[in-house]
Structure 1
């Protein structure tokens, strides 16, 4: 552009120099008008080129901006799709784990119910055995208490010398034998008691 202007100015200078010598003032004016028009035309063309370059640069910037934004959008979409797939996979795994937990809970509930039944049965069994033991102990206590009371009475009679020692020892032997028989009888009853 500078060269063009330089050439134009040089041309103008030479034209002016030679036109003064060869022609009159009118032709100089015509030359000046032509040169002025040429300079204006060259100025307009260079302005148009500058404007065109600016427009081209703006268009290029717009193109690359749109291209970069499009690439970024594609990247964001790809990331979102990957995230959606990971979320779906995670949700599926969580659902499977939840189903497994529900199955295990059902198993634990069945086992607990079965254990509760076993505990109830054993509790009833223990209550029955406790009741029988209580009955046996009452019965045993009542059965043994009589011979022991007899022994005490015999000891008191012997202390007061109301009966002889031999007679007391003989009767005490009978009481002890009776107590022994009652204890053996109770042991047999306890051993042979029906099991639920």
Structure 2
């Protein structure tokens, strides 16, 4: 069992969030393996970030995984939905990357039974992808990705043709940092949350061929 994953401390958290785009996220679920390419992430920059769970050093039993070593699984719930985050930077530096959306490629039939939503609505949001995966608890928290049923395959990756950024979603009332461009996504991918139809690249889905 690994005690950390140095990739998640190899650069700034916003840079890690960009590098994660195109990586394969998988989950060995009780029904079978599911997964897809990461197409949207958000960086949260710790104590200084007014939209972060650890703003001003807040530390609770709930957000403790954020303070774990790089690569720690951090699952949390909001408005009755579960979301998936990975701790970045060294232990006790509570920064992280939220995985907001994936392009599903593995076990789509399983995901459809879990969520009963076809097309882009299957996984085009952080709560949606966790529902599609069938994850509804925090049992994998405090473990390193790859040591549990969740894994982010850094060596299995598609290359985005272009990466765009914007302010993060759902944090508009969270102070000065709410408008910082810390959300990153694969330009033109249909599974990016809230993408307009006219912005979708139906030929390449935003990937470099």
Question: Do they superpose with TM above 0.5?
Answer: no
User: More strand per residue: 1 or 2?
Assistant: 2
Task: Tell me the TM-score normalised to structure 2 length.
Answer: 0.14
Task: Tell me the TM-score normalised to structure 1 length.
Answer: 0.15
Which is greater in Rg? 1
User: More helix per residue: 1 or 2?
Assistant: 1
Higher RCO, Cα 8 Å, sep 6+: 2
